[in-house]
Chains A and B, each alone.
Chain A
């Protein structure tokens, strides 16, 4: 959330630029305000944040492969790229699927943070609707939506994990 705030507000606070609002206005037609600028800001925040998390997972995965695997490849006269593609990569994928699953599911839940700069994501819309109609149901269904979405992803990622369980490394 802090990162979203920084990306969204810092340009205007420090440089006096209103870039995100300008983009919003640029895409606005008629009475309904467009959130394109805000969405771009949120995207940048998420991409930077999760790129860091994921690259860290990849790094950990690659480094966790024992030196022996590389050496076994070397003594067989394979090139570095052959070793990586044919020997290391699959073992890395197997190792990073579980932590990646966690991270992907966290990302789904984190999209709710976009709410804080008024991007119309699920929670925001549900909130608005709940306020307008004086109902609690929209928020409940938003929760159900998250549940379904995360549920599907869990199943898919579980399948990938299972598919790679034929070997142990």
Chain B
């Protein structure tokens, strides 16, 4: 079943065209990795999907429902909020709420959005904390946690609203190398539990192992799209060949 369809998305900041006609679709339970060099528009694409940026034109369709066609009507706050709830986003910089404990960070949004009784929300949150393996840390504040732990809280926080599609914006880029493993492990486990995910990443090996589908972006267009095997073992475009060579030679 197709859960997400993106059609001809365009976005420019002033005169710079950042996204030039992006289209792709995603099946339920699929994991999509977006790779590409800096400035190719990966993050902007993700931000458009999460309605943090308003795209100029193009359709975003979730579960067969047209959420946005880039028109003015999509800028109303009510509509934006409703649209955003279809997606979850995990930030590069975590963006946890510093004044709340781990548990409160996770329960805050469901409580404010009245997603059930307080006990239900807390029970669900505790389950999520267990899922990201932070049981001992539930009453800690974000500044008392390592980057990897913070990012796992951020993942749990995004999951608490049960989004249809969970997006990761370079989830490991702000972490020390030894901490990326724990975050990637959690993401890998999420794949097991049938979550639909879009991951923007620089971790090529991770993309290769976890993704069902990979998009390589360059200069605002989808340069190449395919399965990990196709992308990594049999790249067609010149740009992708160069990119992969560079990515692997550095390591």
List the interface of chain A (C-beta within 8 A of B): 66, 68-69, 71-72, 74-80, 82, 86-87, 90-91, 94, 166-169
Contact = CB atoms under 8 A, between A and B. Distances in A.
Nearest to A169: B98
A150 B143 CA distance: 33
Given A82-B112, A86-B108, A71 B99 contact: no
A167 B52 contact: no
B93 interface: yes
B89 interface: yes
A167 B81 contact: no
Given A77-B113, A167-B141, 5 more contacts: A72-B91, A74-B81, A78-B81, A86-B112, A167-B143
A75 B87 contact: yes
B157 interface: yes
Given A80-B77, A168-B143, A90 B109 contact: no
B113 A87 contact: no
Given A167-B141, A167-B143, A77 B84 contact: yes
A68 B93 contact: yes
18 contacts: A72-B97, A74-B52, A74-B80, A76-B84, A76-B108, A76-B158, A77-B85, A77-B109, A77-B161, A78-B81, A78-B113, A82-B112, A86-B112, A87-B108, A166-B141, A167-B98, A167-B141, A169-B99
A60 B26 CA distance: 43
Interface residues of B, number: 30
**Shortest Cβ-Cβ A-B pairs, 5 listed:** A76-B109, A72-B95, A68-B95, A168-B143, A169-B98
B173 to A, nearest CB: 14
B205 to A, nearest CB: 28
A68 B99 CA distance: 15
A74 B93 CA distance: 15
Contacts of B52: 71, 74-75
A155 B142 CA distance: 28
Nearest to A72: B95
B50 interface: yes
Contacts of A75: 50, 52, 84, 87-89, 158
Interface string B5-20: 0000000000000000
A169 B97 CA distance: 8
Contacts of A86: 108, 112
Contacts of A91: 98-99
Contacts of B93: 66, 68
A86 B100 CA distance: 10
A78 B95 CA distance: 15
B224 to A, nearest CB: 28
A71 B95 contact: yes
B91 A71 contact: yes
A122 B78 CA distance: 56
A131 B44 CA distance: 74
Contacts of A80: 77
A1 B80 CA distance: 51
Given A76-B109, A77-B85, A82-B112, A167 B95 contact: no
